[in-house]
């Protein structure tokens, strides 16, 4: 598997071309190194240690969990957890728009 930083740099440079079409990007999700790179980018940020709606934190990431995600992506059974929607009031009067 290719180094994720190299892949991302190549994709970023190709995106400047108006004629470039992304193909087979999904296969990059099978590369464990992408998950490890992203984990290293986000684990130290303070807000990431808060519990999600399923009471898990970013600390719960391990190689077994990454392997299970990759397996479910390959066999097309992956179902992401629903996101919690929070409505934020806008405007001086506190009205929702």
Q: Span 64-84, mean pLDDT?
A: 88
Kindly report the pTM of this predicted structure.
0.67
- Of 9-13, 80-84, 86-90, which one has max mean pLDDT? 9-13
* Domain chopping of the chain, boundaries: 4-74
pLDDT at residue 74 in the model: 94
Of the candidates 7, 42, 1, 41, the residue with the CA atom closest to the CA atom of residue 25: 7
Cα–Cα dist 1/7, whole Å: 10
Tell me the CB-side half-sphere exposure of residue 42, using CA atoms within 13 A.
14
Cα–Cα dist 6/95, whole Å: 46
- Percent helix, strand, coil in the chain, to 5, is 45, 0, 55
């Amino acid at each position: 598997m290719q180094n994720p930083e190299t892949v991302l740099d190549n994709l970023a440079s190709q995106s400047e071309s108006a004629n470039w079409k992304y193909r087979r990007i999904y296969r990059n999700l099978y590369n464990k190194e992408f998950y490890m790179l992203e984990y290293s980018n986000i684990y130290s940020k303070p807000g990431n240690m808060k519990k999600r709606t399923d009471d898990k934190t970013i600390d719960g990431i391990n190689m077994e969990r990454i392997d299970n995600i990759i397996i479910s992506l390959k066999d097309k059974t992956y179902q992401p957890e629903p996101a919690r929607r929070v409505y934020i009031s806008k405007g001086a009067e506190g009205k929702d728009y």
